[in-house]
Amino acid sequence: MQPEEFEFVSPPPFPDAPVPDAAALNALQAIEQEMQRSPVRLPEAAVSDFPAPMMTVMYSPHQLAADAARNAVAAALASQAAALPRGVKLDQLASSLRPVFVPRWYLKGEISADWMANGVEVSSREVACPECHGSGKQGMGVNQRDCSSCWGSGKEKQTTRKKHPASGNGRVALVESLANHEGMADLQLEAVHDVEPLLLPDEARMRLRCLRPASVYSSDALDAFKNRLAAMLEEQAKGSLNQYGRVDDFLFAPESVRSHAAVAAWLYPAYLGGCEVPGGQCHVLCDALTGKVGWTQAAAEDITTGAAAAGSRHLVTVMAGIAALAAAFGLWYGLSR
Ligand SMILES: [Zn+2]
């Protein structure tokens, strides 16, 4: 007799995630071709390095067209011209921009639970000092002196703590993302996640490249995220007990805890450019969702005189001007979710 075989299929971590339509797939192909045409500024890796099928890969389409990114970079850096190292040519930086995907972890989850706790009402009042019965004095005649218990005040502060059992139900939902690109720790993105990323189709996953990820496994990121969710729920619950001086014996009812947390590798759209400066490299990164521009510079003593830039790399994030942004928005791809 043949043992019955069961196939256990775990549900996808983002069952409702949108998938790219034909227009989005065409746009992705165009980005991919542009990536292949232009030189790589930082080490890249194959997206297929993320282990399939357990690691879901999602991406957000480049919303900013290349021309708009160049304008945003030119506008943002022009306002910083004085802070730029000698040798940086703005037009060269802007024209070196190429589309990239910056790997991040995309985390989405929620938790709900019943909780119970004791709110502690702390009250204090003044009573007559039990040592001197309120007189403030001890001893008789020439030996009389101030009561050592109440320092002569005749009064004592009495504190009482009264416990108030409390309970409730709370829910917290959270979406966040974490950097996962290797090196260039100071090259940061203030990633936005107002729109859920799209599931990357398998064919694109096999072809596409991204900046080299620091890790292709996410267990640490997911564990930390789950802890953060629980901590937020506890904080929310305790916030409803603000009227008490203290909260004791806080507890989640274990059988009531419902939680769900999922993680995906997220390819965040950006444009990266760079140029050589005396003593190192200068990189500029333009967020292809928001138009925000950040740059890093290798600052050596021979680049600038003065102490401000001595020996360290630094990041300056600047908002592109309103006018540049408006121009950029005008050139957005018309992409639907
Ligand atoms: Zn006393």
> Above 80 in pLDDT, residue 104?
yes
pLDDT at residue 4 in the model: 52
Alpha carbon of 130 to ligand 1 centroid (Å): 6
Q: Are 109 and 278 in contact (CB under 8 A)?
A: no
280-287 vs 145-146, strand pairing mode: unpaired
Alpha carbon of 128 to ligand 1 centroid (Å): 8
pLDDT at residue 274 in the model: 86
Question: Average pLDDT of 173-198?
Answer: 83
Alpha carbon of 299 to ligand 1 centroid (Å): 69
- C-alpha 281/C-alpha 302 separation (Å) is 13
* Residues β-bridged to residue 127: 156
SS3 state at 217: coil
Q: Are 59 and 43 in contact (CB under 8 A)?
A: no
Alpha carbon of 138 to ligand 1 centroid (Å): 8
For residue 204, give the nearest of 24, 333, 337 by alpha carbon.
24
What are 121's two structure tokens? 């009402």
Angle at 181 between CA 179 and CA 184, to 5 degrees: 105
Q: How far, in Å, are 67, 88, 181, 243, 273 from residue 294 at the CA level?
A: 17, 15, 15, 44, 11
Question: Average pLDDT of 312-321?
Answer: 34
SS3 state at 160: strand
Q: What are phi and psi of 143, to 5 degrees?
A: -85, -5
Alpha carbon of 156 to ligand 1 centroid (Å): 7
pLDDT band, residue 279 (cuts 50/70/90):
confident
pLDDT band, residue 171 (cuts 50/70/90):
very high
Question: Average pLDDT of 55-66?
Answer: 95
Question: Average pLDDT of 255-270?
Answer: 94
Q: How far, in Å, are 88, 130, 294, 295 from residue 170 at the CA level?
A: 53, 46, 39, 42
Alpha carbon of 124 to ligand 1 centroid (Å): 17
pLDDT band, residue 13 (cuts 50/70/90):
confident
**Overall pTM > 0.85:** no
Alpha carbon of 159 to ligand 1 centroid (Å): 17
pLDDT at residue 143 in the model: 87
pLDDT band, residue 319 (cuts 50/70/90):
very low
Mean pLDDT over all residues of the chain?
82
Neighbours of ion ligand 1 (CB under 5 A): 129, 131-132, 147, 149-150
pLDDT band, residue 165 (cuts 50/70/90):
very high
How many other CB atoms sit within 10 Å of the CB of residue 206?
11
- C-alpha 151/C-alpha 125 separation (Å) is 17
